[in-house]
Amino acid sequence: MRIAILLYDRLTALDAVGPYEVLRNAPDAEILFVGKEKGEVRAGAGTLGLMVDRTFDEVPSADILVVPGGAGQVDAMKDEEILSWLRKIDKTTTWTTSVCTGSLILAAAGLLDGRKATSHWLALDQLPAFGAEPTDRRVVFDDKYVTAGGVSAGIDMALALTDKFAGDVAAQAIQLGLEYDPQPPYDAGTPTKAPAQLVSMMRENSKYFLTGT
C-alpha cells in the first residue's frame, strides 16, 4: 500500500510525523515523502529539517494521500504546482486525508467542495469559502476524504483510518506499539474545554492562521 505524505516549507512537523508513525506500521505500508524538489524542507519556524525523497513527477498515484498543515499552508494554497499534483493524485487514491490546516490546501485544490471537513479550530471558519462544511469533530470522514483537527489529531486520524482499511487488530497493535495511552496534564485541548480567557487570547493572536502574516 502506497502512502504519499506531502512535505513543504514551514509545515508543522507533527502533522506529518504523527500519521507517518502510525501508517508506517500498517500492513504492507510503503511511505513516500513527496514535495516540489528533493532535499530538505524546514518545518515550523525553520527549526527542523525534513527530507523530501520524491518529486511530484515521481509519485503520480497513491493509495493514501496525507496533507499536513502549518504556517506554510498559506503559500501552499496559492502554489499551482502543489494544487495540480493534489488534484492529479487524488484521482488515484482510496483515501485522501489531511491534518490541521492541511484541509485548507485540499480545499484550495477544490477537493473538499460539498464535503464535510475539519481543520485546526482556529481555521475552521475558512472552510466555507471553498465550499466545505466545517464539522467540529476531531476526525471527519466524508466518503474517501478524511480530515483531522489541529496537529496532534493526525495520530487519531491515522489510527481510525488504519482501523478502516486494516481492521481492529492492526489498529490496536499500532496503538500499543506507540504506547498511545494519552495522559495530557490538562483537559484543555479544545476551545470548548480550555479556559475561556486562553481561547480568547489565542483567537486574538491567530492572524497567523487567518492571513498567514
184 is catalytic: no
Does the footprint of a copy of itself cover residue 149 (CB under 8 A)? yes
**Site residues (CB under 8 A) for a copy of itself, limited to 47-106:** 47-51, 53, 100
Under 8 Å between Cβ of 21 and 99: no
Beta-strand pair 2-6/30-35: parallel
- SS3 of 23, please? helix
Under 8 Å between Cβ of 119 and 210: no
Q: Convert residues 27-56 into a mask of x (bound to a copy of itself by CB under 8 A) and - (unbound).
A: ----x-x------x---xx-xxxxx-x---
CB nearer to a copy of itself: pick between 49 and 110: 49
CB nearer to a copy of itself: pick between 38 and 87: 38
Q: Convert residues 101-130 into a mask of x (bound to a copy of itself by CB under 8 A) and - (unbound).
A: -------------------xx---------
Contact with a copy of itself (CB under 8 A): which of 172, 200, 207, 210?
Answer: 172
Position 49, amino acid: G
Under 8 Å between Cβ of 115 and 85: no
Under 8 Å between Cβ of 105 and 73: yes
Element (H, E) at 123: none
- SS3 of 8, please? coil
- SS3 of 65, please? strand
Residues that bind a copy of itself (CB under 8 A): 12-14, 17-18, 20-21, 24, 31, 33, 40, 44-45, 47-51, 53, 100, 120-121, 138-139, 149-153, 155-156, 159-160, 163, 168-169, 171-173, 175-191, 193-195, 198-199, 201-202
- The catalytic residues are 100
